[in-house]
Copies of this chain bind each other. A is one copy, B any other.
Amino acid sequence: MDASLSQFFAQVDKDQNIYVDRLREVVAIPSSDVSHRPDVFTMGAWIQKELTRLGVEFEIRDPGTHEMDGHTLQLPPIVLGAYGRDPAKKTVLIYGHYDVQPALKEDGWATEPFELVENEKGELVGRGSTDDKGPILGWLNAIEAHQKLGLELPVNLCMCFEGMEENGSEGLDDVIIAEAKGWFKDVDAVCISDNYWLGDSKPCITYGLRGISYYKLAIKGPGRDLHSGVFGGTVHEPMTDLAYIFSKLVTPQGEILIPGIMDDVAPLTAAEEASYPPLDFSLSTLHNAIDAKNTIHDNHIDALKGRWRYPSLSLHGIEGAFSAAGAKTVIPAKVIGKFSIRSVPNMVPEKIDACVVKYINAEFAKLGSKNTVEIECLHAGKPWVASFEHPNYVAAAAAVERVFKVKPDLTREGGSIPVTLTFQDALNKNVLLLPMGRSSDGAHSINEKLDRSNYIEGTKLLGAYLWELSTKDF
């Protein structure tokens, strides 16, 4: 393995400008939102052309159509690939998405978003560079480098590339579930490269994501919006009730006040506790990220725990109240408060719902209001956590050490990547999140970038991971 990897690394270094040109080629395909749907198809065709060139078998799964703003639209293809089918080898399923966030120069980009530009800092700036075209190309580059060297990959690769990730991955879950005993039947482990390092200097592998339960809390009073001059002081105002209920959900220190919510939070293990001190993170990283200093905790370890291993509750806003600039003397007739709970293992959406509904109804009853309340969970996703002691993670950690000469951070994320859980539940295999880009890449922002070093070393990392995994028994 050592010799093969040395050759592979040298080949990647040698071909790096080819890889950058390839990234330029795909960034130029503006495969973003619904207004660019044909470009998403073009990008899907580009992937198929590349798979053909590399000798990867593939099939298309057509997720059908969806409705959007009254139009019926074709969904972009889900591309399933298979590179090698040797029963003696492990089979690794890799996932990536070839659609990107929308981008307009007018949004504040320094350069044209769909023209890859390498700046003096070695950053490859362009929409989709880091999210998620760079990582997809990393896999393809690694295959190409092996082919140029006449080296066989040490594992079989199974692939799943979709074009709707930025819009809810419509149709993907059904395909994954349907192919669990089909295209994906031989998969031993899953690797997703679609997230980011914790900071900007040290790679990480990610073993947990929070879930989410998103609520709509509707309080209804008068039959129509009222003038506060004429009716203020005579009616129970839904906004007043909502402010009371909102104030009973979470404290300004972030403590969730809903009884029962904290009961199922998994205890902190010694192994997890030990994973925090080495992390590439500090309070100032967080302060930079939020462009302020209004953090709850006075140390970065508690802040990270608050981000990813404890639940949180955020009040997002209110539908139906006055929300414009200026002054309007309205008593809104019906207000819909939006809030969500980020959940962690071992919280269960159904139990979260039960706690929320019971508590809010009880608190509302205390108000003595003649208004009515209705609570609805708009969507729920379970939290996810994997064992970082699993060989899939051990292999990834070894690959990081090989490429970057450093032990990776063991991280979780505060948000959710729903496909992670779908793969785990449908295939019942360990899923690894192995990011290529950095915290500062600005995946959904203006001036999205992928550092050249992350792209090139990241390509090595993906290849090295496959070699390390091939040596593991599981």
Residues of B within 8 A of A306 (CB): 233-234
Q: Which of A345-376 contact B (CB under 8 A)?
A: 367-371
Would A321 and B314 be within 8 Å (CB), given that A247-B243, A295-B235 are in contact? Answer: no
Question: Is B370 a contact partner of A222 (Cβ separation < 8 A)?
Answer: no
Cα(A310)–Cα(B233), bound, Å: 8
| Residue of chain B at shortest CB distance from A288 | B223
Q: Tell me, yes or no, whether A416 is within 8 Å of chain B by CB.
A: yes
Bound Cα distance from A221 to B315, whole angstroms? 14
Q: Enumerate A213-252 residues with CB–CB distance to B below 8 Å.
A: 214, 216, 221-224, 226-237, 239-241, 243-244, 246-247, 249-252
- A328 — which chain B residues lie within 8 A by C-beta? 316-317, 338
State the Cβ distance, A124 to closest chain B Cβ, in Å.
23
Binds B, one of A81-89, A154-162, A329-337: A329-337
**CB-CB under 8 A for A237 and B314, given A230-B413, A290-B223:** yes
* A-B contact sample (11 more), CB < 8 A, given A214-B329, A233-B307, A234-B307: A210-B229, A228-B312, A228-B314, A228-B316, A229-B414, A230-B415, A231-B307, A233-B310, A233-B342, A236-B294, A243-B247
Residues in chain A within 8 A of chain B (CB atoms): 210, 212, 214, 216, 221-224, 226-237, 239-241, 243-244, 246-247, 249-254, 286, 289-297, 303, 306-307, 310-319, 321-332, 338, 340, 342, 367-371, 378-379, 413-416
Question: What would be 28 A-B contacts, judged by CB atoms less than 8 Å apart?
Answer: A212-B229, A212-B329, A222-B290, A222-B291, A222-B294, A223-B290, A226-B290, A228-B316, A228-B340, A230-B415, A233-B312, A234-B286, A235-B294, A237-B314, A240-B252, A240-B254, A240-B314, A241-B252, A244-B247, A246-B247, A293-B370, A296-B370, A316-B328, A318-B318, A318-B323, A319-B322, A319-B324, A323-B323
